[in-house]
Amino acid sequence: MCGACLSRRKLLALGAAAGLAGCSENADTGRRQLAFIPDEQLVGMADQAWAQMLAQVRPVRDPAAHARLARIGRPLAEASGRKLAWEFVVLDSPEFNAFVLPNGKVGFFRGLFEFARSDDEIGSVLGHEVGHLVARHPAERVSQELAVKAGVGIAQVLLSGGEGGQGGEAVAAALGLGAMYGVILPYSRKHELEADRIGVALMEKVGQNPRAAVTFWERMIARADAQPKPPEALSTHPADERRLAELRAAVAA
Ligand SMILES: [Zn+2]
């Protein structure tokens, strides 16, 4: 049961005003979620955030890189059953990170792309990102954000359709993109582990080798240990021993 659903009258009133749904059980994760933002609204927010992202961080010029990313990602997206305008873009930035928006746009930073040694390693990141959408994490995150702020800020943006400026930043932040972008705001550990599990299942479904997820994270950790400052993806996608252990278990299952 989602406590916030019952305790936040204001929020419910707001939800009603915006034509929002409420708590529901997610068949893919088997738990109830506070996710009352309708998909169309999330997609609209994501379209706006994606356009802003592309204005600030350019896609790489190498068409072969995008083609490779799409070739690996598309089967995973299809296997997810989420009918979205999926797009896979390598962004020209040295960061070790990737993200997905609820409109199916996947940004994969060049740093992480070049670090990957195989298609399956790239697939393990993409499976994870697609997994976030299968588990409806963006809807949950935006809903939680709204619950915390009790309808202020983002709610106004949602209700007004939000255009640029501060509103645009609030929308992007709710979707997990920092104000200046390049900064990917973390999902909760629970969300990360769920996305990992779903990612492994998707990889198996499309014939990619999910063991690559384990080796990839092992290498990421080794790299972090070798550096005074951990790469960005490690702080936002915590790659600790528990995560690795759960990944190993999911791959072995
Ligand atoms: Zn993640």
* Cα–Cα distance measured from residue 56 to residue 184, given in angstroms and rounded to the nearest whole number: 14
Instruction: Summarize pLDDT for 201-237 with one digit per residue, the tens.
Output: 999 999 999 999 999 988 888 876 544 444 445 455 5
Query: Six-digit token pair at 70?
Result: 């799409």
Q: Say how many Å lie between the CA of residue 168 and the centre of ligand 1.
A: 22
Q: Say how many Å lie between the CA of residue 147 and the centre of ligand 1.
A: 22
Q: Is residue 144 predicted with pLDDT exceeding 80?
A: no
Q: Say how many Å lie between the CA of residue 21 and the centre of ligand 1.
A: 25
* Cα–Cα distance measured from residue 211 to residue 215, given in angstroms and rounded to the nearest whole number: 7
Q: Is residue 8 predicted with pLDDT exceeding 70?
A: no
Q: Say how many Å lie between the CA of residue 19 and the centre of ligand 1.
A: 29
For 59, which DSSP code?
A: B
Q: How would you class 9 by CB atoms within 10 Å of its CB: exposed for 0-12, middle for 13-18, buried for 19 or more? A: exposed
Q: Say how many Å lie between the CA of residue 238 and the centre of ligand 1.
A: 9
- What pTM, to 2 d.p., does this model score? 0.78
Instruction: Summarize pLDDT for 68-101 with one digit per residue, the tens.
Output: 999 999 999 999 999 999 999 999 999 888 999 9
Q: Is residue 151 predicted with pLDDT exceeding 60?
A: no
In this predicted structure, what is the pLDDT of residue 160?
A: 54
Q: Say how many Å lie between the CA of residue 246 and the centre of ligand 1.
A: 14
Q: Which residues pair with 88 in a beta bridge?
A: 106
Pair type for strands 23-26 and 87-91: unpaired
Q: Say how many Å lie between the CA of residue 68 and the centre of ligand 1.
A: 21
- Candidate from 181-185, 206-210, 248-252 with smallest mean pLDDT: 181-185
Q: Say how many Å lie between the CA of residue 139 and the centre of ligand 1.
A: 14
